[in-house]
Chains A and B, each alone.
Chain A
Amino acid sequence: MILTGQAIKQAYERGEITIDPFNLSQLNPNSYNYRLSGSILQVNNDGKGHQDFERIELPASGFVLRPKTLYLAATHEIIGSTKYVVTLLGRSSVGRLGLFLNVTADLGHAGSISQWTLELRVVQPLKVYPYMLIGQLAFWKQWGSIVEYRGRYHKDFGPVPNQDTSLLSSEDK
Chain B
Amino acid sequence: MILTGSAIGEAVKAGDIVIEPFNKDQLGPNSYDFRLGNRCKIYRDYQLDSAKENLTIDYDVGNDGILLDPCRVYLFNTLETMGSTCYVPIIRGRSSVGRLGIFIDITADLIDIGSINQWTLQLHSVMPVRVYPGMLIGQVTFWKVEGEILLYSGKYGKFQSPVASLSFMDGGPDAVSSIITI
Task: Count contacts on B: residues with CB < 8 A to the other chain.
Answer: 53
Q: Are A129 and B176 in contact (CB under 8 A)?
A: yes
Interface SS, B side: loop
B22 located at the interface, meaning its Cβ lies under 8 Å from any Cβ of chain A in the complex: no
Mark contacts of B63-74 with chain A using CB atoms, 8 A cut-off: 1 yes-contact digit, 0 otherwise.
000000011110
User: Are B145 and A3 within 8 A (Cβ)?
Assistant: yes
- Min CB distance B112 to A, Å, is 4
CB distance from B114 to the nearest CB of A (A): 6
Contacts A2-B143, A6-B148, A95-B122 known; A124 to B47 CB distance under 8 Å? yes
Type the 1/0 row for A5-18, where 1 means its CB is closer than 8 Å to any CB of B: 11110100000000
How many A residues touch the partner, as a band? 35 or more
B166 to chain A, nearest CB (A): 6
Q: Is A23 an interface residue (CB 8 A)?
A: yes
Contact of A138 among B110, B148, B150 (CB under 8 A): B110
Q: A1-B144, A30-B113, A98-B73 are in contact. List 6 more A-B contacts (CB 8 A).
A: A2-B146, A29-B151, A38-B182, A96-B106, A96-B108, A128-B50
Q: Which A residues contact B (CB, under 8 angstroms)? A: 1-8, 10, 23, 28-31, 35, 38, 60-62, 64, 67, 76, 89-102, 106, 123-133, 135-136, 138, 141
